[in-house]
Structure 1
Amino acid sequence: MAHAAPASSAPKTPRIPTPSTPDVFDERSHTIARWAIPVVGGLLYGFWAAAINRSGGPITGWNILFGFVCAIAFAALYIGVRMLAPLLKRELHAVLWTAFAGITFGFLYSQTGETVLRSTFMALGVAAGVFAVTFYRYYTHEDAEGHPDPR
């Protein structure tokens, strides 16, 4: 005579397949963001650099020009890094973002009037942190050839 297998006391919950993260924004939103992020980031960087440079003094024409030149340089470098970085392997990809972050922070820090040596060491500290984060991110989200991990 056959007996039924005992059932577990815990209720069974059905496994719901989890889809990959949906893209909630359309292509137009991505296009706007692709240009808005460098422009807004550049304007913030330029304003910050000009504010540090004037040291609380009056706003002059040269100070405004300095801010806009810094904004244009930051935005152009950001766009260049963003276009070039995905073409590189994950190690160089991380190094490129590291160099960008270290240089931009070092320049801002040098505007405070500190020595070049202190600005360099502070920038290296920021760059080390950025390298650790970006390398970990690219190492865990790409395969050995640099393609996004399909997981």
Structure 2
Amino acid sequence: MAHAAPRPGRSTGRVTVTSDVFSERTHTLARFGIPVVLGLVYGYWAAANRRDGGEITGWNILFGFATAITFMVLCIAVAVLAPRLKRELHSLTKSAFAGAAFGFLYSQAGATVLKSVALSLLVTAAVFAVFFYRYYTHEDGEGNPLPR
């Protein structure tokens, strides 16, 4: 006779099994460390797009660091504020950030404004669909996580 395997987070008799292997401190470090690393990569990428293979100048370095700091601040703000919103606005906030970030990088590569806006709206729509589906299938009507 076959038996179902215990699922993570469920009580298996006397012992509760959880799938969280990291401590709260690790989660806190990751919550702020990931935006910092992403910001540095984003700033470097924007500066590289802007110089277009030319020489690295002081203004180019300043542009990269300014872009990185702006990205970090906005990424942390979205990560802190978006979960407090309803799932539609939560999805829209994160997808608007992703679309704007993509559009800015694309515009630094020398694309026209119209093409940058069109592609960033396409990216925003695709990211919105993914996030909305994820939140819609993992939350109840009031935004509370569904029991696993």
TM-score relative to the length of structure 2: 0.91
Deviation string for 1:48-76 (max 9, x for gaps)? 00000000000000000000000000000
**Counterpart for residue 33 of structure 2:** 36
Unpaired segments ≥5 residues, structure 1:
1-11
Distance between the aligned counterparts of 1:57 and 1:16, measured in 2? 59
Q: CA RMSD in A?
A: 1.0
Instruction: Find out whether 1:64 has 2:64 as its counterpart.
Output: no
CA 1:13–1:66 in structure 2 vs 1: closer, same or farther (change >3 Å)?
Answer: same
Match of 1:17 in 2: 6
What displacement does 1:13 show?
Answer: 2.2
CA distance in 1, matches of 2:41, 2:5: 44
Once residues 98 and 16 of structure 1 are traced to their aligned partners in structure 2, the CA distance between those partners, rounded to angstroms, is 37
Classify the secondary structure of the residue corresponding to 1:129: helix
Identity fraction in percent: 64
Separation in 1 of the partners of 2:122 and 2:6? 43
Hey, what's the Cα distance between the residues in 1 that align with 2:100 and 2:67? Answer: 13
User: Is 2:78 the counterpart of 1:81?
Assistant: yes
Residues of 2 paired with 1:31 and 1:38: CA distance? 12
Alignment TM-score, normalising by the size of structure 1 = 0.89
Counterpart-to-counterpart distance in 2, 1:122 and 1:16: 45
> What is the total number of aligned residue pairs between the two structures?
140
**Which contiguous aligned blocks of 4+ residues in structure 1 show a shift greater than 3 angstroms?**
none
Query: Which 5+ residue runs of structure 2 have no aligned equivalent?
Result: 10-17
Q: Could you tell me which residue of structure 2 aligns to residue 141 of structure 1? A: 138
- Counterpart residue number, 1:123: 120
SS in 2 for 1:144: coil
Mean Cα deviation higher: 90-99 or 28-37: 28-37
Paired residue type of 2:135: Y
